[in-house]
């Protein structure tokens, strides 16, 4: 990812209500989060070179992020694990599509058996169509996102029964 693309993402965030953007490609991780003052906060993952970000985006230091609630506290979300169930998660922020075009058949439906390299959907990000593979094999139990819906990094897209 080059500086021009990072600037485009920051400008997109300024013009929209987007509060967080994350991408990972070939060992490079980039996460941009809107700070308390509305300016983007840019961070990169371990092992990658930090991108150059113009001084205009560093006008104030980032605010500390509050610590997540411990699981034992009331009101904390409880993650329920189902044996033999896994999820296909979104590797990026974008728009979810179940088929290559509106007239085409969906890549997968409930009950579809998939392999680890099966194409399950497309996520459009910055006018680029990204084909998403399952990365695990199993049977589609539930489709968790509506066609054309915006998705976030790490959001669950499909519920799978392994095997």
pLDDT tens-digit series, residues 12-66:
777 777 777 777 777 777 777 766 555 555 544 444 444 444 444 444 445 555 5
Count up the domains in the chain and report the number: 2
Q: pTM value?
A: 0.51
Do 97 and 50 have their domain in common? no
Provide the residue range defining the domain that includes 155.
85-162
Residue 142 lies in a domain: yes
Supply the pLDDT for residue 26: 73
Query: At residue 68, does pLDDT exceed 80?
Result: no
Asked, for residue 50, whether it belongs to a domain, the answer is yes
pLDDT of 79-131, one tens digit each? Answer: 556 788 999 999 999 999 999 888 999 999 999 999 988 899 999 988 888 89
The string of pLDDT tens digits covering residues 121-162 is 999 988 888 899 888 899 999 999 999 999 999 999 999 998
Cβ–Cβ under 8 Å, residues 160 and 86: yes
Residues 2 and 68: their CA atoms lie apart, in Å, by 32
Q: How far apart are CA 161 and CA 95, in angstroms?
A: 25
129 lies in some domain: yes
pLDDT classification of 4: cutoffs 50, 70, 90: confident
Q: Quick one: 93 and 149 in the same domain?
A: yes
Give domain status of residue 108, yes or no: yes
Is residue 53 domain-shared with residue 101, that is, in the same domain? Answer: no
- DSSP state letter for 112: -
In a domain, 78, yes or no: no
Q: What is the pLDDT of residue 105?
A: 93
Query: Considering only CA atoms, which of 119, 145, 143 is closest in space to residue 132?
Result: 119
| Separation CA 52–CA 71 (nearest Å) | 37
Decide: 121 and 153 in contact? Cβ < 8 Å. Answer: no
- Give the phi and the psi of residue 10 in degrees, each rounded to 5: -60, -45
């Amino acid at each position: 990812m080059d500086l021009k693309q990072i600037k485009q993402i920051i400008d997109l965030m300024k013009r929209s209500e987007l509060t967080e953007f994350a991408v990972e490609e070939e060992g490079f991780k980039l996460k941009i989060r809107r700070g308390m003052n509305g300016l983007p906060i840019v961070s990169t993952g371990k092992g990658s070179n930090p991108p150059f970000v113009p001084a205009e985006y560093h006008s104030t230091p980032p605010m500390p992020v509050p610590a997540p609630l411990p699981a034992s506290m009331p009101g904390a979300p409880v993650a329920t694990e189902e044996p033999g169930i896994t999820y296909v998660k979104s590797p990026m922020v974008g728009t979810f599509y179940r088929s290559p075009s509106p007239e085409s058949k969906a890549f997968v439906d409930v009950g579809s058996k998939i392999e680890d390299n099966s194409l399950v959907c497309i996520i459009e990000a910055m006018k680029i169509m990204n084909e998403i593979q399952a990365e695990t094999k199993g049977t589609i139990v539930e489709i968790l996102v509506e066609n054309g819906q915006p998705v976030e990094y790490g959001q669950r897209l499909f519920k799978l029964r392994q095997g």
